[in-house]
Amino acid sequence: MQRAYRILIVDDEDFNQELIQALLEPKGYEVVTADNGKQALEILAQKNIDLILLDINMPVMNGFEMCLLVKQDPRTRHIPVIMITSLESRDSRLKGMETGAEEFLHKPVDQAELLLRVGNILRAAEYEDAFNYVIMALARAAEANDLDTGNHILRVGEFSALIAAELGQSDKFVEDIRLQATLHDVGKVHIPSHILKKPGLLSPGEMEEMKKHPGFGAAIIGDHPYLAMGRDIALYHHERYDGGGYPSGRKGTDIPLAARIVTLADCYDALRNSRVYKPCYDHGGAYRILTEGDDRTQPSNFDPAVLGVFKKKAGSFEELYTKMTDQAAARTTGSL
Ligand SMILES: [Fe+2]
């Protein structure tokens, strides 16, 4: 049986908490309450919450401060927030929007409206969650044949989001690339495993076969507008800024920005991992190759703005790589 949706009510007035609780529980929702933002964050660290109903004026930590922290934390930012504001306060609505709240309800709360909004927002969040899950499942399926990847797709997503944010892209772009960059190698499902797993260099014929994976990836993703970025990434992530890449030899800004970002994220992560055909490098080694070049890679392969972000944020790349490989190792150990 599907579990009940769990809603966190954050309000310092017991009366308000009880009123909303009495409205939601008979409709099958599970309710958890907190008296202020700080207490609510403690609950969020321990329990899965599907929706937050958030008052603004509270002692210890108010609703704006809390909402900002929820939306900054990758573990909680997906949880929708309905902020409860006073009708006359346009300023608090604007401030609420700035902190990332998805919806607003006016005080005194209209009970029918609250139930409708809660139902709608939970359904929308569930669809989005399922959509994201299926994308990740597709990306994982493409890794099945590839010996060496582990957490590679997730790290490429995180590195790409880091670069996009630093380039000043919108929050939507950053979130889209975090997810859709994971699809960059989805076309590898069509590449025979003896090529993917071959130790040593590929023969020219095998290389030609390998070079088909961007086109295969684009064909698998297709032309749905929600995945337009993922399709661009799959198709162009082996293009090079100087025109020396494949499959089309596009150059410079003719390569979509999302793909230019993923090219560097993918290269950095590939250098850090040992693969059947090459040893791995530590952060310093990978940094040197990307910024100074070697026999396979040149700095001119990358968008100078993207490479500039990498140089500036190199420490964050190293930190993220270490954190995510440690997490993956802990998960593997835990599952044995
Ligand atoms: Fe690739």
User: What pLDDT shows up at residue 87?
Assistant: 57
Within a domain: 139: no
In degrees, to the nearest 5, what angle opens at C-alpha 179 toward C-alphas 177 and 181? 55
Distance 237 CA to ligand 1 centre (A): 6
Q: What is the pLDDT of residue 335?
A: 47
The reply to whether 182 and 298 lie within a common domain is yes
239 pLDDT band (50/70/90 cuts)?
Answer: very high
Distance 188 CA to ligand 1 centre (A): 8
Q: Residue 135: inside a domain, yes or no?
A: no
Is the residue at 134 inside a domain?
Answer: no
Residue 224 phi, psi dihedral angles, 5° rounding:
-70, 135
pLDDT score, position 142: 81
Strand order in the sheet with 30-34: 30-34, 6-10, 51-55, 81-86, 103-107
What integer is the mean pLDDT of 5-16? 92
61 and 121 in a single domain? The answer is yes
For the stretch 242-301, pLDDT in tens is: 999 999 999 999 999 999 999 999 999 999 987 766 778 999 999 999 999 998 899 999
In this structure, is residue 132 part of a structural domain? no
Instruction: Give yes or no: residues 119 and 150 share one domain.
Output: no
How far, in Å, CA of 160 to CA of 262, rounded? 6
* Confidence (pTM): 0.80
**311 Cα: distance to centroid of ligand 1 (angstroms):** 23
Query: How distant, in Å, are the alpha carbons of 34, 201, 301 from that of 204?
Result: 63, 9, 21
Å from CA of 266 to ligand 1 middle: 8
Tell me how far apart the alpha carbons of residues 17 and 186 are, in angstroms, rounded to a whole number: 47
* Residue 275 and residue 320 in one domain: yes
In angstroms, what is the span from residue 216 Cα to ligand 1's centroid? Answer: 11
Claim to verify: residue 200 and residue 303 sit in the same structural domain: yes
Q: Which residues surround ligand 1, an ion (CB under 5 A)?
A: 185
- Mean residue pLDDT of the chain comes to 90
Query: Is the pLDDT at 125 greater than 80, yes or no?
Result: yes
Q: What is the pLDDT of residue 146?
A: 65
- 4 C-alpha to ligand 1 centroid (Å): 41
Q: For the chain, what is the domain count? A: 2
pLDDT digits (tens, 9 = 90+) for 155-202: 999 999 999 999 999 989 999 999 999 999 999 999 998 998 888 889
pLDDT at 336: 44
| DSSP 8-state secondary structure symbol assigned to residue 187 | G
Q: Are residues 113 and 154 in the same domain?
A: no
Which tens digit of pLDDT belongs to each residue from 26-71?
Answer: 999 999 999 999 999 999 999 999 999 999 888 888 889 999 999 9
Distance, in Å, from the CA atom of 8 to the CA atom of 68, rounded to the nearest integer, reads: 16
Distance 323 CA to ligand 1 centre (A): 23
**In terms of domains, do 183 and 330 share one?**
yes
CATH number for the domain spanning 285: value is: 1.10.3210.10
Rounded distance from Cα 238 to ligand 1 centre (Å): 6
pLDDT for residue 200: 83
pLDDT of residue 328: 74
Query: Cβ distance 294 to 184 under 8 Å?
Result: no
Q: Are 174 and 307 in a shared domain? A: yes
Q: Which CATH number do you get for residue 113?
A: 3.40.50.2300
> Has residue 95 got a pLDDT over 80?
yes
Q: Are 50 and 125 in contact (CB under 8 A)?
A: yes
Centre of ligand 1 from the C-alpha of residue 327, in Å: 24
Domain that holds residue 226: 144-335
When pLDDT is cut at 50, 70 and 90, the band that residue 332 belongs to is low
The number of residues in the chain equals 336
C-alpha closest to that of 109 among 52, 55, 65? 55
For the segment 136-150, what is each residue's pLDDT rounded down to a tens digit?
A: 899 888 877 665 555
